[in-house]
Structure 1
Amino acid sequence: MKHLTFLLLFVALFSNVSRSQDKTVNIQTSTKPFVLGITDEIQSAQLAEKRSLNIYLPEGYDQDTKMTYPVIYLLDGSANEDFIHIAGLVQYCTMIQVMPKSIVVGIANVDRKRDFTFPTTVQQDLKDFPTTGKSEKFIAFMEKDLQSYIQQKYRTNASKTIIGQSLGGLLATEVLLKKPELFNNYVIISPSLWWDNESLLAKAPELLKSAAARNIKVYVSVGTEGKVMEQDAANLAAVLKKSADQSLQLIFNPMPAENHLTILHHSAYKAFEVLNAKK
């Protein structure tokens, strides 16, 4: 009798467990991709190659078809580089109304040393990095291929910002000095102005005289990144401040608590804040 009772209890317990497992298995689930942006591919006449663009469109872009938006052009804009966290930062800053809703265009890299540097006379650099020195073509790509494509495909307004760090900061500085009209706002973080024995920095005062700036805001920052990089950034800020007239506004923001790896996110947040400060 005891054995029979035990057997019945075991069968009942097993039956309840089975039903419980069946309920777990039969729970209806639904998954779908979490979409942060879109990827466009354009054929560049200036570079003679296809280039990928990672695009972040602000909330409400598809609903309000009459609204136009500022555009932020991000160097080092590959998905595995700076696009995801800068797009997230833009989304956050617009949510808390630090800045207007904006389109982010992340320019994915193919060969950043080639695209972000002008020719160098340093023989060791030529040996170590043989593809360098083609920034003129990349700047032409941004001017003639990229900006026209973005303006035609997306609802943009006249506000254009470029963000560059390290070699990207070098390129952004070169654009500022040689083609300042390409952007309204320049976010230059930890620029590698040491390139070619600091030749761009040496030419900056003369270049600023010949390049007429038009209502441009320039944000320059550097962390604790070595004496050369820190001094070069400070010298760039000094040259810009000395040469600036009412058409160029400089914000120099040293960030000693940051290093070369940590500065971009913190510095970009501050740049969005000060460049969009209400008067």
Structure 2
Amino acid sequence: MKKFLFILLFVTFQVSISQEKKPFSIGETLSFYSEILQEDRVLNIYLPNGYENSSKQYPVIYLLDGSTDEDFIHIAGLVQFGSFSWINMIPETIVVGIANVDRKKDFTYPSTDKGYVKKYPMTGHSENFIQFLEVEVQPYIEKSYNVTEEKTLIGQSLGGLLATEILFKKPDIFNNYIIVSPSLWYDYESLLKMTPKDYTSEKKIFIAVGEEGEIMKRIANELYLKLKKINNHHTQLYFNFLEEQDHGNVLHLAVYEAFEKMFSVKK
């Protein structure tokens, strides 16, 4: 009899659990056709807790490599954790993950390295992608969501190369830059030889690299020193070498430390 009652209760519990299932969501996914890129694109958007019932305006983080199977989920998680009132590491923030189609195409400018171009013939279209961010993505977000003027860009590897290119060529598209393990070896390190465009708006720039080989460490440090040399009172500049991390796992800890240094409110 006891065995029968146990089975009955177990079945009842299972039915009850199944009846309470509902989808879990941390935001929205937007699919649209880009006139600039001439292709369908996807944005993954994390909204802070209580966004729907709030009249607040929120800063925005734009995340390269922002597909759900890339960096969107764990970076959105860091933002949620960091914005808890008892943590106070970052203000409540909207995260816009730009899902990839072809990152080698979108994140690189034209190269003079014939061997690389032969191997990856679709490279060299970052100018279009930057225009896509500036003309299509940002205006849509600003029109559709309650946002402030504060915009941060996060990019790693080739994404870090693109973030550096934007910082050097069109710095005022974003207020803040988190550049992790940038692939500045691309095109014989030509971007490092470029003179960055001047800007007058306030900037926070965080550069990080892990234990990823001498070339990656050197070029990340050279980027920091280049920016430090031309630094002015408009810029807060940070550099971090994460010796326990490699190219595969450096982003998460780097972004965590960037949030602490760039946005944390001391209690």
Q: TM range, normalised to the smaller chain?
A: over 0.9
- Structure 2 CA distance for aligned equivalents of residues 45 and 156 of structure 1: 24
2:25 is paired with a residue whose SS is: coil
TM-score, normalised by the number of residues in structure 2:
0.94
State the Cα deviation string for residues 237-257 of structure 1 (Å, max 9, x = none): 001000111112211111112
- Structure 2 CA distance for aligned equivalents of residues 142 and 90 of structure 1: 21
Identity percentage of aligned residues: 49
* Matching residue's letter, 2:228: K
Equivalent residue, structure 2, for 1:24: 10
Matched, 1:47 2:37: yes
Equivalent residue, structure 1, for 2:79: 90
- Structure 2 CA distance for aligned equivalents of residues 114 and 238 of structure 1: 28
Query: 1:84 Cα deviation (Å)?
Result: 0.3
Query: 1:60 Cα deviation (Å)?
Result: 1.5
- Structure 2 CA distance for aligned equivalents of residues 167 and 271 of structure 1: 19
1:110 is paired with a residue whose SS is: coil
- Structure 1 CA distance for aligned equivalents of residues 33 and 141 of structure 2: 13
Note if contact 1:179-1:211 (Cα within 8 Å) is conserved in structure 2.
no
* Matching residue's letter, 1:23: L
Query: 1:20 Cα deviation (Å)?
Result: 3.1
Matched, 1:79 2:65: no
Query: 1:278 Cα deviation (Å)?
Result: 4.3
Note if contact 2:88-2:264 (Cα within 8 Å) is conserved in structure 1.
no
2:3 is paired with a residue whose SS is: helix
- Structure 2 CA distance for aligned equivalents of residues 150 and 31 of structure 1: 31
Equivalent residue, structure 2, for 1:230: 217
1:217 is paired with a residue whose SS is: strand
State the Cα deviation string for residues 161-209 of structure 1 (Å, max 9, x = none): 0000000000000000000000000000000000000000111xx2x2x
Equivalent residue, structure 1, for 2:191: 200
The answer for unaligned runs of 5 or more in structure 2 is: none
Equivalent residue, structure 2, for 1:12: none
1:169 is paired with a residue whose SS is: helix
Query: 1:213 Cα deviation (Å)?
Result: 4.2
Matched, 1:258 2:245: yes
Equivalent residue, structure 2, for 1:9: none
1:270 is paired with a residue whose SS is: helix
Query: 1:17 Cα deviation (Å)?
Result: 2.9
- Structure 2 CA distance for aligned equivalents of residues 19 and 265 of structure 1: 49
2:52 is paired with a residue whose SS is: coil
- Structure 2 CA distance for aligned equivalents of residues 147 and 41 of structure 1: 15
- Structure 2 CA distance for aligned equivalents of residues 165 and 278 of structure 1: 25
Equivalent residue, structure 1, for 2:136: 145
* Matching residue's letter, 1:250: L
Matched, 1:243 2:230: yes
The answer for unaligned runs of 5 or more in structure 1 is: 1-14
Note if contact 1:213-1:248 (Cα within 8 Å) is conserved in structure 2.
no
| Cα RMSD after superposing both structures | 1.3
- Structure 2 CA distance for aligned equivalents of residues 277 and 246 of structure 1: 20
* Matching residue's letter, 2:253: H
- Structure 2 CA distance for aligned equivalents of residues 118 and 84 of structure 1: 28
